[in-house]
Structure 1
Amino acid sequence: MPGIRKSLLQLVFSGTSMRRWNDKMRPMELMEVDKQAHKMIMAWMLYMLNGSDLDRKDFIDLGDKIVLGGMYDYLYRLVITDIKPPVFYQIKANPAHYQQLTQWVLEQLKPRLQSLGDPFWKGMREYYADGASRDDLASRILDAAHLLASQWEFHLIKDLNPKDEEMDEIEANFIQGIEGFQDLIGVRELMQGNKASLGRFAQLCGQLRFQQRWSQTPRIPETAVLGHMFIVACYGYFFTLMVGGCKARRVNNFFAGLFHDVPELLTRDIISPVKSSVKRIGDLIKEYEFKELDSKIFRTLEQGGYFELSRRLKYFLGVDVGSEFASTICLEGDTREVEWDQLQTIYNNDDCDPKDGFMLKICDDLAAFIEAYTATRNGITNDQLQQALWKIRKKYQQVSLTETMHIGGLLADFD
């Protein structure tokens, strides 16, 4: 029976231990999950800009293809972690060799992904069936976003490796690769960094990889806010798939999860006990977040003419309803808060533009639970981690999303 399994959640989380640029001098450890988050943030911007002329159905279909492609690529990358990019690209250039590698990768992933049901697993097999020949809009957006996010990382390490003979070749490959996507709206602006409002927003989001979660609690592995957002996004999509969410709801929940901690760009990661320790402190923090979001992000995008990106980001962050974890629909531009049960019934269709809040909060807490659980399994024991595990178990002990999706039962698997 399809469902969310412990092994699937841990697979997605495993990217927090996968180092990038491991043979180069680095200012800090650069992790795969952070790069994937940055890549999908850029992919969302390119999706919004290059899909704006499509009708609603095609626009949603494009978003779903981008989200699925991004997750498929990430899961594939988790398996081939030990293959250096230059070697992988040589394998990819040979269709026969690439298909052999892909067959092996899919065999490794099958036990953990089949629990999501036949459509997801079949989709991943078909995604890689044609080898490296994909050239549709969704694939080009993902490829461009991949290069832009990797180049952003490269700029972090470039000056630290002046004697490395590979650096000039790597930089030239980035420039040549990105040049092939100049026809996509937004690519030039993203390359300009702080000189353009679109690039400035991408730059700000990238900085969330420097911001550690649980900053006062030792953990192995440490996780950054940026990677955490990607993990929540993946969980959000998987859970929406399992409860029978419509396509728009799946896409919205992925991107809402991907952006849910963007306010921490401006407030840092304020832990829950601080937010609840003083009366109204949580409300004051939320008011400050929205004020700073408006001045530092929304206005920046709008000044660059990206009004639709600003509007959509406000919807994901729940600006009109006061919380990113509110369940909402949007009809004719009007955002309305609804109950989760209503999303499962009368509003579970693409025309209502549904976005889960209740379920995304579950995914957010599950990601925090796995962070704490993994640290304890790796030998780190302290009161903060133990309390987090206990509180989350207690909170969801009696919570079910459907008759077959019991959150307490899922957490019970982590013994």
Structure 2
Amino acid sequence: MPAFSLDPEQLARCAQLRTLAREQLLPLAEQGEPGQVNRPLVAALGELGLLERLVAADALELCLLRESLAYACTEAETALALQGLGASPVVRAGTEAQRARWLPEVAAGRAVAAFALSERGAGSDAAALALKARPDGRGWRLSGEKCWISNAPEADFYSVFARTTEGAGARGVTAFLVPADRPGLTGSALDMLSPHPIGTLSFDEVPVSREDVLGAPDGGFRVAMDTLNRFRPSVGAFAVGMAQAALDAALAHTADRRAFGGALKDLQSVAHTTAEMATRTEAARLLVYAAASAYDEGAPGVPRRSAMAKLFATETAQYVVDAAVQLHGAAALRRGHLLEHLYREVRAPRIYEGATEVQRTVIARELYSAGPGARPEETAT
């Protein structure tokens, strides 16, 4: 399928998702508490079959899900995405027993998943993580902390990445599936700008066994990077959904608002701004679809494409939402306004799952590795 077009069936599904999000999920989102897991919303995502679609989705389908939900209800989009992020290591590297135990619960919206990679001293530099896994004869004991973990401390299980071999860098990390009720595992919530739940986790000699390993011992960094390469384009899709919502709000407002003897849209400066907003949004959408399609096809250059998609889409969304606020004026700053909500939501994606600066580093590394003149599809990575 060409990366630059969607077929009529896909377009129809996206329209249905936007309607469903607006009519059924947004009311549940509005009843939730900021900074806390909205379990009725997660349950509704399961009942509507969206989490089952998420578990089985390829990268492009994941992007379409996230963009469509983000357009109408960012809370529903984030709840769905966090389920996918936390469960993806189980889907891709888990044992049959692990998948059988947890994936049906995730798909039904009965279990909340979380991806526990970041630490205070190992955010952008994930290979520097320090959570220790000490062998104890029967398995390992986890000691240390995780920070900036979405859905913590309320998740039912965590995909946790810990150091099993000192001094080995990325090659000394193991992924573990850790249920929330393990002795020694505690956590606390963080009060953040964005409204979805984020917290810390503390591990005090938390026991894990070989049955809890996701993938192979010392192979956890590959599990983490595979998950992030799959999800980075979809972070871009989330951003595109927000950008499109902000753009549509700006178009409607500037067409109706009267000022200086006419509609705002008739002012050249306003018209040029909306044209720029629309162009950047569409360019971001195409980069996202192309990166997702490349991942699904197993094409070369996936890290570069994923980094480009996340970089450009999240930076674009920040620009578009900010421009929409400017065009609306003071009304957009009022608590509860769509653009006030999007303004708070749009900032975090430029940081999580690899900050903008990290994406530029990945892109530059891939460029210099490939050499001058190489295109992404010609680069084996």
Higher relative contact order (CA 8 A, sep 6+): 1
Q: Report which of the two has the higher share of helix.
A: 1
Q: Name the TM-score, length of structure 1 as normaliser.
A: 0.28
